[in-house]
């Protein structure tokens, strides 16, 4: 479940497109606010110190401006999550059920939704940002400022070109999560079912 919080903010970067000018944080912030809907698939590898092989999960996601994120796990188990400004909900037989907000999770949720909405001031308040490369081949490094986030992350590395290719989360206890994003597109609008999921 922690991986959902950690990946949410980085997924917001999926909407990056080519820029003719020099690539800087101001342009990055502008790009974050542009895409209305992004669909894609993911492969997530959780590298734990205690295990010789990573834990791998796969699924799809829908990132919608002003709505939030649908994170749909397919393997090794099927489970749907919805993340928005109200918090995190999990789907069960009775519909969407809100999960309890814990302090660290609530802080990360607030932060990453600011990223989703292109709020660079919120992001820069909580992270030191370092951007290198150009619009076709770039890397963004996030180093936490706040004590709460420093308890969770050492660093977050995001690599991409026109769209994000991978997100690496380096945790303080030595574990590492690698998220590879595939087949991402901003050309497809929300389906009726997706609109219903966000509206519930």
Q: Alpha-carbon distance 156 to 178, whole Å?
A: 10
Burial of 126 (0-12, 13-18, 19+ CB in 10 A): buried
Q: Which two tokens stand for residue 106?
A: 């609530």
Tell me the pLDDT tens digit for each residue of 31-69: 666 788 889 999 999 999 989 999 999 999 888 888 888
Question: What b-and-e string marks burial along 51-66, b requiring 16 or more CB atoms within 10 Å of the CB?
Answer: eeeeeebebebbbbbe
pLDDT computed for residue 91 by the predictor: 94
pLDDT computed for residue 66 by the predictor: 83
Beta strands in 106-188 (DSSP E): 127-134, 137-144, 153-160, 164-171, 176-185
**Phi, psi torsion values for 96, nearest 5 degrees:** -80, 130
Q: Alpha-carbon distance 124 to 110, whole Å?
A: 13
Least confident of 8-12, 75-79, 132-136: 8-12
At the second CATH level, the architecture of 2-199 is Clam (2.50)
Q: What is the DSSP letter of 102?
A: P
- Least Cα distance to 44 among 74, 14, 12, 88 occurs for 74
How high does pLDDT run on average in the chain? 79
pLDDT computed for residue 144 by the predictor: 92
pLDDT computed for residue 93 by the predictor: 93
Tell me the pLDDT tens digit for each residue of 127-177: 898 888 877 788 888 899 888 889 888 998 888 776 677 888 898 989 998
pLDDT computed for residue 75 by the predictor: 95
Q: Alpha-carbon distance 46 to 151, whole Å?
A: 18
Cβ(182)–Cβ(58) under 8 Å? no
Reported pTM:
0.78
Q: What is the DSSP letter of 12?
A: G
Least confident of 55-64, 77-86, 101-110, 140-149: 101-110
């Amino acid at each position: 479940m922690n991986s959902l919080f950690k990946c949410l903010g980085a997924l917001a970067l999926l909407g990056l497109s080519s820029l003719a000018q020099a690539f800087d944080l101001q342009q990055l912030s502008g790009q974050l606010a542009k895409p209305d809907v992004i669909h894609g698939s993911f492969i997530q590898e959780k590298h734990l110190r205690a295990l010789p092989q990573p834990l791998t999960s796969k699924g799809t996601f829908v990132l919608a401006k002003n709505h939030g994120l649908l994170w749909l796990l397919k393997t090794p188990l099927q489970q749907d999550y919805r993340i928005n400004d109200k918090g995190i909900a999990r789907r069960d037989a009775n519909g969407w059920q809100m999960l309890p907000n814990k302090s660290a999770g609530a802080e990360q949720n607030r932060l990453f939704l600011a990223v989703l909405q292109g709020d660079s001031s919120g992001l820069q308040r909580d992270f030191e940002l370092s951007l290198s490369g150009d619009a076709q081949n770039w890397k963004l490094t996030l180093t936490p400022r706040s004590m709460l986030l420093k308890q969770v992350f050492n660093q977050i590395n995001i690599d991409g070109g026109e769209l994000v290719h991978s997100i690496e989360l380096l945790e303080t206890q030595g574990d590492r999560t690698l998220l590879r994003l595939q087949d991402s597109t901003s050309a497809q609008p929300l389906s009726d079912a997706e609109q219903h999921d966000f509206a519930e």
